[in-house]
């Protein structure tokens, strides 16, 4: 293999080349057949097909099964500050179009924005980042100030950047876990690690240092709106409530009552605080309980609207069968509890529980519960979490609204 480009070159097999040509950015370790030069971990290398065709340039990491993460397919790109500035601006311009005027949203969604392994959520004046690839880790000193620059050029003040790198996935990249304020040269780190945001007219206190993931799940914003439209006058059971968001949206929309449940005492305390912040305590009751234990004890017809927003029951293809049994159990129990004409909101946030399999599970649960499902809406994650059709891993959230008949 010969090249005049400044980067080491990785040749991959036919299988990997086909996927790369279809637009997928990952090259796995077992797809590499030849190597020219000595790519450094976290540095750039070129990827070529068995016939020497240029497929892209990406970050190399010998510690990871994802050996190369392609960031560009343009052989003329120069990976300097202007390149990353354009990429950041492109992501920001997209958000301005699809979630205009929003105070909180996902600014960078990893591979979908061609920043592999990087998540950036904006909560009011705070950016919360999660860096899961070595290549991004090595350029964050360049990248993070560009994020601030892009927003502040449009008059959006950013007080600080907080890193939530407390995930074991980093260890697969040869990275250590850490959390804390990223040091910006022109401003001191804020004193508080919580911030108040507003979504759909509901106020939340977001603990971005200790909450799950980056502190708040922004991907369900429009699904919460859709769920709330069915709530007026109904008795709502909000399962896996976390910070209380689905229940609070329903209460604000005019539900007769809301019973919000989560297994964690900590998240129930957080949800109660959010409820008080919105003056909805007269409508919402909270309970720390295991949903799997609670649902079988309910009296049929006790609630006429049940919302199921569980955590990901599987984060691997190896455990998807067990996860499917869990999804079926809670959906079956909900369907058995609802009266005829009741309403069900149900979802899965696991990429490995694909949409076709999730739908088949719901059909099976409905048969066992001896009900029929009338589809109201089928939805996905919000547009600030964009899905690239050539990267299936970016498509993860399934959300369905049904009437049981």
143-152 b/e with 16+ CB inside 10 Å = b? bbbbbbebbe
Distance in angstroms (rounded) separating the CA atoms of residues 115 and 133: 9
Residues shown for the chain: 405
| Catalytic residue chosen out of the listed positions 270, 275, 347, 349 | 349
∠ CA 247-251-254 to the nearest 5 degrees? 145
Distance in angstroms (rounded) separating the CA atoms of residues 214 and 138: 21
* Of 162, 277, 271, 176, nearest in space to 210 by CA: 162
Let me know: does 318 contact 381? Beta carbons within 8 Å: no
Distance in angstroms (rounded) separating the CA atoms of residues 266 and 288: 9
Residue 239 annotated to the active site? no
Q: What single-letter DSSP state applies at residue 53? A: -
**Sign of the torsion formed by the C-alpha atoms of 287, 397, 63 and 75:** negative
Count the Cβ atoms, other than its own, within 10 Å of residue 396: 20
Distance in angstroms (rounded) separating the CA atoms of residues 170 and 128: 16
Residues 6+ apart with CB under 8 A from 93: none
DSSP assignments along 147-207, one per residue: HHHHHHTTT----EEEEEE--THHHHTT---EEEEE--TTSPPPS-SEEEEEETTEEEEEE
Among all residues, which ones are annotated catalytic? 349
């Amino acid at each position: 293999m010969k090249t005049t480009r400044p980067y080491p070159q990785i040749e991959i097999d036919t299988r990997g080349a086909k996927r790369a040509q279809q637009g997928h950015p990952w090259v796995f370790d077992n797809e590499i057949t030849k190597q020219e030069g000595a790519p450094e971990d976290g540095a750039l290398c070129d990827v070529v097909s068995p016939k020497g065709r240029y497929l892209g340039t990406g970050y190399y990491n010998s510690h990871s099964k994802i050996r190369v993460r392609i960031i560009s397919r343009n052989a003329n790109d120069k990976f300097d500050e202007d390149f990353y500035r354009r990429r950041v601006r492109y992501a920001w311009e997209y958000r301005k179009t699809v979630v205009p005027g929003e105070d909180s949203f996902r600014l960078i969604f990893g591979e979908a924005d061609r920043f592999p392994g990087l998540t950036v959520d904006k909560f009011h004046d705070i950016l919360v980042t999660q860096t899961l690839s070595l290549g991004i880790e090595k350029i964050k000193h360049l990248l993070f100030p560009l994020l601030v620059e892009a927003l502040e050029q449009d008059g959006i003040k950013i007080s600080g950047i907080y890193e939530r790198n407390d995930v074991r996935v980093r260890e697969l990249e040869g990275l250590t876990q850490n959390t804390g304020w990223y040091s910006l040269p022109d401003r001191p780190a804020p004193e508080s690690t919580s911030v108040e945001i507003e979504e759909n007219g509901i106020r939340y206190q977001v603990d971005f240092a200790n909450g799950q993931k980056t502190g708040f799940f922004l991907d369900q914003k429009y699904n919460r709106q859709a769920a709330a439209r069915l709530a007026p006058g109904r008795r709502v059971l909000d399962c896996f409530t976390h910070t209380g968001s689905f229940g609070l949206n329903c209460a604000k929309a005019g539900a007769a009552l809301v019973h919000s449940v989560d297994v964690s005492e900590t998240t129930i305390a957080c949800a109660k605080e959010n409820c008080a912040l919105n003056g909805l305590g007269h409508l919402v009751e909270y309970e720390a309980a295991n949903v799997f234990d609670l649902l079988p004890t309910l009296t049929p017809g006790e609630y006429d609207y049940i919302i199921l927003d569980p955590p990901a029951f599987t984060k691997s293809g190896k455990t998807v069968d067990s996860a499917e049994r869990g999804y079926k159990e809670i959906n079956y129990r909900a369907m058995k509890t609802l009266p005829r004409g009741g309403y069900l909101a149900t979802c899965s946030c696991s990429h490995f529980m694909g949409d076709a399999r999730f739908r088949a599970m719901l059909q099976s649960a409905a048969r066992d519960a001896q009900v029929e499902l009338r589809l109201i809406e089928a939805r996905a994650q919000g547009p600030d979490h964009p899905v690239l059709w050539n990267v299936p891993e970016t498509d993860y959230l399934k959300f369905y609204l049904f009437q049981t008949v």
